[in-house]
Amino acid sequence: MKVWIKLLAGSILGFVIGYLLPSESHNFIPVLQWLERFALNIGRYAVVPVLVFSLTIAVFELRQDDQFWPFILKNFLLITGASVFVIALGILTIMFFSPGRVPIESAEQLESISLNVTQNIIDVFPANMFSVLAGNGIYLFPVCVFAFFMGMGLNYDRGYTKPVITMVDSLSRIFYHVASFFSEIMGFILIVLSAYWAVRFHDILRAGVFRDLVILLGGFSLVLGFGILPLFLYFLRPRVNPWRVLYGFLGPALAAFFSGDINFSLPVLMRHSKENFGIRRRSNAVSLSLFSTFCRCGSAMVAAVALIVIIKSYSYLRIAPLDILSIGVRALVISFLLARHPGDGAYTALAALCLGYGGGEYRAGYLILKPLAFYLIAVSTFLDIMISAFGSYIAAHTSGYLEEKNIVHFI
């Protein structure tokens, strides 16, 4: 059975179970919350080792090809272009198709939510280099930096480093297969995640106050992820079938939406990129590391859209064009700073936007959408993963690091 079919079957089964659970009793909520944490940990279990060893050998191989810095530059150009486009498109959409206002409720206390950029920078270079490997698997950027220096070090002297290169290459392949095992059982894991997702979604629908925003964000994300983004592949030479590429990334899209976690979805995306499209490890590991770290424009765009909805709910006055531009620019900057938030990027970005907008008038605005946070995170993670998928495919295709495979051999 295809992996994406397993994921789809698990998602549908879990959604039905969650939707049919009795809404009168909430005794099962703590159980679902515990199961969700357990399921997410299973999905993240192999991400650090597979990332460390794959990225290390990828940096070494790109250095051997004399393509490392040109390839890095190409990825950052794709990341910047995608971020500007997605955030601008989202803001334009919310201005033309404005949803209904959401009720304003007073918040007793602000939650402690912060990007904490200064601490994030410090954590990239801890006092002990090896300590990044013993982290909790949430903040992966220090792991990527560790792998970068390891890969650079392997180019020192082949006479000394050849045994280490062979060992790292073997460990990369071993942990890739370990991660592949977890992607095979991901359908069962998604039963739990989609069940809890459905319970919360059912409550939101019954409340009814966020229905317009739910429909707008859901419809926009589907059009962007399954329509607009694939169309960019028409510009590639030699020509590719964008809908074939979209089909190959259905599995990671499902994993991202119901998990709402980048690190959970990353091993699934790495496997689909390699086995569906033959993207070579030297391209796949580097591109996905960069996109998952710096290209969180889906989360930033959702946060910008949510902020505009909050502002319109506070006031009947029209938002000034300069304020719209300010929101867009700040969202763009924030999209590069969400590496420590793989599972709550959209809500964290919304909190950061609210805390810095309007001289403090909207500091607690993000609390209005707290019941909808899981949905904002689901939509934004889906977009982040789809952008990473198409971006990594474009980088590999234009660099010659891709070997097209027949669609019948897709996993």
When divided into structural domains, the chain yields a total of 1
Alpha helices in 45-157 (DSSP H): 47-64, 68-96, 117-124, 141-153
**What separation in angstroms does the CA of 220 have from each of 84, 216, 317, 337?**
16, 6, 25, 24
Give the residue numbers spanning the domain of 195.
Answer: 3-409
Sign of the torsion formed by the C-alpha atoms of 58, 125, 73 and 115: positive
Task: State the pLDDT at residue 137.
Answer: 82
Report how far residue 199's alpha carbon sits from residue 253's, in angstroms, rounded to the nearest whole number.
20
CATH number at residue 44: 1.10.3860.10
**pLDDT value for 110:** 58
Residue 356, classed as helix, strand or coil, is coil
Contact by Cβ (8 Å): 74, 193: no
CB 142 within 8 A of CB 53: no
pLDDT for 316: 72
**For position 221, what pLDDT does the model report?**
94
Using alpha carbons only, what angle is made at residue 307 by residues 115 and 111, rounded to the nearest 5 degrees? 45
pLDDT score, position 105: 66
Contact (Cβ atoms closer than 8 angstroms) between residue 132 and residue 14: no
In this prediction the pTM is 0.93
CA distances from 75 to 213, 269, 391, 398, 406 (A): 32, 17, 8, 11, 26
Task: Show pLDDT as tens, one digit a residue, over the chain (411 residues).
Answer: 788 999 999 999 999 998 887 766 567 888 888 999 999 999 999 999 999 999 999 999 999 988 999 999 999 999 999 999 999 999 999 988 888 777 776 555 556 677 888 888 998 998 888 888 887 888 999 999 999 999 998 887 777 888 999 999 999 999 999 999 998 999 999 999 999 999 999 888 887 788 889 999 999 999 999 999 999 998 888 888 899 999 999 999 999 999 999 999 999 999 999 999 999 999 999 999 999 999 999 999 999 999 998 888 877 768 888 989 999 999 999 999 999 999 888 999 999 998 877 666 677 778 888 889 999 999 999 999 999 999 999 999 999 898 888 888 888
Instruction: Give the residue from 346, 327, 353, 5 showing the smallest Cα distance to 190.
Output: 5
Quote the tokens at residue 22: 């009795």
| Three-class secondary structure assignment of 204-229 | HHHHCCCHHHHHHHHHHHHHHHHHHH
Taking each helix axis from N to C terminus, what angle separates 250-259 and 262-277, rounded to the nearest 10 degrees?
180
CB contact set of 93 (below 8 Å; sequence gap of 6+)? 216, 220, 305
